Amino acid sequence: QVQLVESGGGLVQAGGSLRLSCAASGRTFNTYAMGWFRQAPGKEREFVAAIDWNGYSTSYAASVKGRFTISRDNAKNMVYLQMSSLKPEDTAVYYCASRLRILIATTAREYDYWGQGTQVTVSP
């Protein structure tokens, strides 16, 4: 029912910042909780951040808390991940995901739709 397209990935030096965007289609986007996950080569897909249907509640992985901020603009069908103080350990493909619920979730199997991913590379 919904399609997701990520953008904003790229190469950045350690300590720098990037802003990822996820464009969503679907008339019911405003009722979906959204999440960001990442996967590095040879690693499992890892939860990064999530936001509920109206942006009131958020959740972050301990590894990114204080450095990353998830937000959404329902009028524009967009969700964002602002990343600052980036570390080489943040290098991964970042995926936007949605679930057909209003509350946040932190496991991949709880999400219903996924984008293609965008590469983030942080150089030392």
> 2, 98 in Cβ contact below 8 A?
yes
Using DSSP bridges, classify how beta strands 58-60 and 46-51 pair: parallel, antiparallel or unpaired.
Answer: antiparallel
Render each residue's pLDDT in the chain as its tens digit; 124 residues.
789 999 999 999 999 999 999 999 876 777 889 999 999 999 999 999 999 998 999 999 999 999 999 999 998 999 999 999 999 999 999 999 999 888 999 999 999 999 999 999 999 9
User: Residue 96: which residues within 8 A CB-CB, separation 6 or more?
Assistant: 4, 5, 6, 20, 22, 24, 34, 35, 36, 79, 114, 115
- Write down the pLDDT at residue 27: 67
**Paired strand residues for 94:** 38, 118
pLDDT, residue 26, reads 77
| 3 state SS of 76 | helix
